[in-house]
Amino acid sequence: MFDLSGMTALVTGASGGIGSSIARALAAQGARLALSGSNAAKLRAFRDELNSEFGHDHVEITCDLSNTTQVEELVPATVDTLGQIDILVNNAGITRDNLAMRMKDEEWEQVIRINLEAAFRLMRAAARPMMKARFGRIVTITSVVGTTGNPGQMNYAAAKGGLTAMTKAYAQEVASRGITANCVAPGFIRTAMTDVLPDAQKDALNAKIPMGRMGEGGDIGAAVAYLASREAGYVTGQTLHVNGGMAMMG
């Protein structure tokens, strides 16, 4: 079950904490990956690691998601390199936290451009080859914050909430062509950034989670692998919340 052999996937933000877990989960199920990010050295090192571990001849494609030209070229480059694109995972994102009254225009614009607009451009570009193939899986990483909001993150919450709504609209447009579009919304996930938090702050975060702990990158990877699979072909326009129960959505 959830065998992705013969399928190709483009993963943005692939060398980051959650992105690398997603890439690893897809590779473990047999997908061949185009790993994208802005740090060429990190991407190459991660590509070599995946190739050594899974032996699938994965590739890396450097892309600055704030650069419209590079974003527009990413899906065509993936198709040229891998021959097709079956799965698109919009994972990359940034934060520029600030209270609303202090938020600078550039802090708003950077987050919207990279977190929301780039995903739109990639989804638009992926539609044509996926429609031609009459198969596709779009999985976009949102956040619990996109549903609950969070003080100091008006830009981030707007972008993540926008991704959810955008995905629902897209899902309706492409469903008849065998393409699904869904979101995975992580809660607090343990990464290198959270590992350096003081114990008191970690305890405060864990106290908000019924399971009493942060999630792992593998929890997100498993959710993406399911939504990317052939078995998830009747699931579209949905958001899978992976947050240990800290926010239970109806």
* Per-residue pLDDT at 84: 97
Contact in structure between 4 and 229 (CB atoms under 8 Å)? yes
The size of the chain, in residues, is: 250
pLDDT tens over the chain, length 250 residues: 689 999 999 999 998 899 999 999 999 999 999 999 999 999 999 999 999 999 879 999 999 999 999 999 999 999 999 999 999 999 999 999 999 999 999 999 999 999 999 999 999 999 999 999 999 999 999 999 999 999 999 999 999 999 999 999 999 999 999 999 999 999 999 987 778 878 898 898 899 999 999 999 999 999 999 999 999 999 999 999 999 999 998 7
The helix (H) or strand (E) run that includes residue 62 is strand 59-62
* Per-residue pLDDT at 196: 81
What is the residue type of 169? Answer: A
Q: pTM higher than 0.85, yes or no?
A: yes
Q: How far apart are CA 176 and CA 222, in angstroms?
A: 26
SS (H, E, C) 32-50: EEEEEECCHHHHHHHHHHH
Cβ atoms within 10 A of the Cβ of 2, count?
17
Verify whether residue 156 is a known catalytic residue. Answer: yes
Q: How far apart are CA 9 and CA 23, in angstroms?
A: 9
Phi/psi at 119 (nearest 5 deg)? -65, -40
Domains of the chain with CATH codes: 8-240 (3.40.50.720)
Q: Which of 156, 170, 226, 234 is catalytic?
A: 156
* Per-residue pLDDT at 1: 67
Contact in structure between 160 and 144 (CB atoms under 8 Å)? no
